[in-house]
Amino acid sequence: MKFAIAVFGAPYSSQASLSALHFAQAVTLAKHELYRVFFYHDGVLNGNNLMVPPQDELNLQNAWVEFAATSKSELVVCIASALRRGMLNAEETRRYEKTASSLDPAFIISGLGQLIDAGLQADRLVTFN
């Protein structure tokens, strides 16, 4: 079965990100296909490479990056949500003449069409709020 995941919740302020990560890990462990993980609204904050959680807590951003590297899964953040929250990759940093980027390079910045595509391509689109 082919799954797509949409994450709407910010890390550390809801259970959405951690639950989505556990679900994604279970999907790949069960040998299902994970088409895409799409981060929307506050969910884009999962790609913030400037987060520094306490040492005794899970670093969700790092956990997503590690998951993507091992599973070869695509992590996409909504460009409108990202820009609104100060989440810029290197290209957007140059475009808007900002001094620093905050989006981890493992995350792809793209449009809402990627979420629609994921819903069309996957057998199931699972959302985490």
In the prediction, which pLDDT does 113 show?
97
CATH of the domain at 82: 3.40.1260.10
pLDDT digit string (tens) for 30-73? 999 999 999 999 999 999 999 999 999 999 999 999 999 999 99
pLDDT digit string (tens) for 80-124? 999 999 999 999 999 999 999 999 999 999 999 999 999 999 999
Structure tokens, 41: 């609204």
Number of domains comprising the chain:
1
Which residue in the list 27, 34, 75, 78 is annotated as catalytic?
Answer: 78
Contact criterion met (CB below 8 Å) for 5 and 24 = yes
- Domain with 83, as residue range(s), is 2-128
Calpha distance 75→20 (Å, rounded): 12
- The verdict on whether 78 is a catalytic residue reads yes
Calpha distance 18→20 (Å, rounded): 5
Among the listed residues 109, 124, 128, the one whose alpha carbon sits nearest the alpha carbon of residue 35: 124
